[in-house]
């Protein structure tokens, strides 16, 4: 188990000064079981009406994209290697809290630790705390590697990850 590097700069399509003050950006990869649990959670709860919510799906299928859009999420897709090159982010799942499209106030994991404890998903609690003026430290992300480079480092025998050539 390793802490995965994720973007600290905004990965959002929100533009600074957007009319929506607060936003949640979820970054997931469909091939990652950890991301799949977050995706299921988002599909169950739907988009939060109080904020703008975006889901960035790496290596996505049309079915997931459509389901999320039907529930009110803004959805964009990206190739995992391209996303890594652009943002230096090599792991999922993670989320960001942004205010007015600016640099994220939070960029990290959905849970307090790698074993998810009993606190459940912390995206809405994190958002609420930041909206109230509180401070939240970025939680380390444990999940799935998304870059071929990190997959090769973490799984040199290819037991978990199939490396694209």
CATH of residue 55: 3.40.30.10
Angle among Cα 53, 54, 58 to the nearest 5 degrees reads 150
Question: Global pTM?
Answer: 0.89
Least confident range from 44-53, 87-96, 106-115, 153-162: namely: 153-162
Query: Total structural domains in the chain?
Result: 1
Asked if residue 17 is part of any domain, the answer here is no
Q: Render pLDDT for 99-149 as a digit per residue (tens, 0 to 9).
A: 876 789 999 999 887 566 556 899 999 999 999 999 999 999 988 888 777
Question: Any idea how long the chain is?
Answer: 165
User: In the block, which residue shows the tokens 């109080």?
Assistant: 50
Does residue 64 lie in a domain region?
yes
Residue 162 lies in a domain: no
- Give the pLDDT confidence of 15-73 residue by residue, as tens digits: 555 555 789 999 999 888 889 999 999 999 999 988 889 999 999 888 999 999 999 99
Let me know if residue 8 belongs to a domain: no
Does any domain span residue 103? yes
DSSP 8-class letter at 25: E
Expressed as residue numbers, the domain containing 77 is 22-154
127 domain-assigned: yes
């Amino acid at each position: 188990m390793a802490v995965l590097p994720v973007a600290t700069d905004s990965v959002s399509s929100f533009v600074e000064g957007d009319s929506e003050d607060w936003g949640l950006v979820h970054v997931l990869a469909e091939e990652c079981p950890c991301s799949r649990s977050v995706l299921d959670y988002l599909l169950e709860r739907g988009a939060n009406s109080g904020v703008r919510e975006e889901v960035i799906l790496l290596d996505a299928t049309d079915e997931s994209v459509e389901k999320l859009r039907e529930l009110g999420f803004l959805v964009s897709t990206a190739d995992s290697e391209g996303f890594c090159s652009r943002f230096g982010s090599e792991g999922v799942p993670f989320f960001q809290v942004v205010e007015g499209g600016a640099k994220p106030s939070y960029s990290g994991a959905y849970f307090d630790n790698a074993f998810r404890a009993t606190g459940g998903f912390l995206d809405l609690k994190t958002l609420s705390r930041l909206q109230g003026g509180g401070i939240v430290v970025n939680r380390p992300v444990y999940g799935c590697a998304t870059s071929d480079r990190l997959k090769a480092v973490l799984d040199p025998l290819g037991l978990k990850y199939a490396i694209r050539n």
